[in-house]
């Protein structure tokens, strides 16, 4: 009798365990430079266990640049991307139904800085013509922001060569070794270069004032995006993913910089936790509070991509199809 009860109990436990495993959904997430503060909500969701809480087994693939993450999505090697909102606009213009489902950053937080020993001759972006510019990857948001700044300064988008330097320690080394003349990048890379006296800042979109100075309005930055086809076939999983990111945004809204520095992997600090903490302090203003971009901001990014790409001037882009808000509105309550 006892043996029969034991076997019945074991079978029930096995069934419960199998059901629990069945509820877990594997989602492949692409990112272009995971240690960058631009993508901090992703690391928060991972480190705080929000994906696990939602029943998501997150496989995070770091491609070192946003353009490569987009390529991975189109190629089918990832399901979802944390990347720049402008990629949804470019894909819609090409007939690819790629949509954002959650805003992570309401400000780009991109900084353009020139190597300190050139600061006497390079006073503005207009003086960077012909100089070597380090970006996370050509085609990524750091590259596009720099090209837009060049056009605003009266230059052509092609007037300075862009060199992909990634999003980690290699980016810092490229500047310190003199391999690049200027950089368009993000914290904590920028914070480290500033603290070490390696760069002079020319453009700073970590603040709303700096963002408006360059773009003329708000400019949504990092978002969670995917193919509309994936949304249609994996609606429940999409909601779980957005729920996890919504928890990250809520946590960041009240977190102290010290809390963030203690949460992320030590390798993110680039050997200086105090400096990383300051970098977080500089960037906290940039994270989304609602998970939904403003219409003004979306229109501002559309203006940016049309300015950079003449082929998009006449393209019909329906902004309502670039952001699907039902998941994040449900997640944010």
Residue length of the chain:
333
Asked whether residue 275 is assigned to any structural domain, the reply reads no
Taking Cα atoms as reference points, which of 190, 238, 186, 219 lies closest to residue 81?
238
Asked whether residue 25 is assigned to any structural domain, the reply reads yes
On the question of pLDDT at 6 being above 60, the answer is: no
Instruction: Give pLDDT tens digits for 98-130.
Output: 999 999 999 999 999 999 999 999 999 999 999
Q: What per-residue confidence (pLDDT) applies to 5?
A: 54
Q: What per-residue confidence (pLDDT) applies to 18?
A: 41
Q: Are residues 45 and 128 both part of a single domain?
A: no
Tell me the CATH number at 184. Answer: 3.40.190.10
Q: Are residues 179 and 126 both part of a single domain?
A: yes
On the question of pLDDT at 240 being above 60, the answer is: yes
Number of domains, the chain: 2
**Long-range own/partner contacts, residues 137-140 (CB < 8 A, 24 or more apart):** 137/32, 137/63, 137/64, 137/65, 137/66, 137/67, 137/68, 137/164, 137/166, 138/65, 138/67, 138/162, 138/164, 139/65, 139/66, 139/67, 139/70, 140/32, 140/65, 140/66, 140/67, 140/84
Mean pLDDT of 307-322: 87
Q: Are residues 101 and 229 both part of a single domain?
A: yes
Q: Which of 204, 234, 253 is the last residue of a domain?
A: 204
Asked whether residue 99 is assigned to any structural domain, the reply reads yes
Taking Cα atoms as reference points, which of 120, 131, 219 lies closest to residue 183?
131
Structure tokens at 61: 């693939």
Q: What is the CA radius of gyration of the chain?
A: 21
Q: Are residues 135 and 9 both part of a single domain?
A: no
Taking Cα atoms as reference points, which of 298, 159, 155, 327 lies closest to residue 221?
298
Write out the residue range of the structural domain in which residue 263 sits.
Answer: 2-107+219-270+287-332
Mean pLDDT of 168-197: 95
Q: Are residues 115 and 93 both part of a single domain?
A: no
Q: How confident is the model at residue 19 (pLDDT cuts 50, 70, 90)?
A: very low
Q: Are residues 43 and 90 both part of a single domain?
A: yes
Instruction: Give pLDDT tens digits for 296-308.
Output: 999 999 998 898 8
Mean pLDDT of 260-287: 94
Asked whether residue 36 is assigned to any structural domain, the reply reads yes
Instruction: Give pLDDT tens digits for 127-147.
Output: 999 999 999 999 888 999 999
């Amino acid at each position: 009798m006892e043996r029969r009860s034991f076997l019945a109990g074991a079978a029930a436990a096995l069934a419960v365990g199998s059901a629990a495993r069945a509820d877990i959904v594997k989602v492949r997430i692409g990112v272009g430079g995971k240690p960058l503060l631009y993508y901090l909500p992703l690391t928060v969701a991972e480190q705080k266990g929000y994906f696990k809480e939602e029943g998501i087994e997150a496989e995070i693939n770091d491609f070192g640049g946003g353009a490569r993450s987009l390529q991975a999505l189109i190629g089918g090697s990832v399901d979802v991307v944390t990347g720049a909102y402008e990629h949804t606009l470019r894909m819609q213009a090409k007939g690819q139904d790629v949509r954002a489902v959650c805003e992570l950053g309401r400000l780009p937080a991109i900084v353009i800085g020139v190597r300190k020993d050139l600061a006497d001759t390079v006073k503005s972006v207009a003086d960077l013509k012909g100089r070597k510019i380090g970006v996370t990857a050509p085609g990524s948001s750091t590259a596009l922001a720099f090209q837009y700044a060049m056009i605003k300064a009266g230059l052509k988008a092609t007037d300075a060569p862009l060199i992909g330097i990634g999003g980690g320690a290699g980016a810092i080394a490229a500047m310190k070794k003199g391999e690049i003349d200027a950089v368009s990048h993000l914290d904590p890379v920028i914070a480290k270069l500033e603290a070490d006296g390696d760069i002079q800042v020319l453009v700073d979109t970590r603040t709303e004032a700096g963002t408006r100075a360059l773009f003329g309005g708000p400019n949504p930055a990092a978002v969670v995006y995917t193919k509309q086809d994936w949304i249609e076939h994996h609606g429940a999983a999409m909601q779980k993913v957005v729920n996890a990111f919504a928890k990250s945004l809520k946590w960041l809204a009240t977190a102290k910089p010290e809390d963030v520095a203690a949460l992320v992997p030590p390798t993110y600090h680039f050997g200086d936790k105090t400096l990383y903490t300051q970098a977080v302090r500089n960037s906290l203003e940039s994270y989304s509070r609602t998970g939904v971009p403003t219409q003004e901001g979306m229109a501002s990014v559309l203006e940016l991509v049309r300015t950079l790409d003449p082929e998009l001037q006449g393209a019909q882009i329906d902004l309502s199809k670039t952001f699907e808000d039902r998941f994040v509105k449900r997640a944010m309550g």
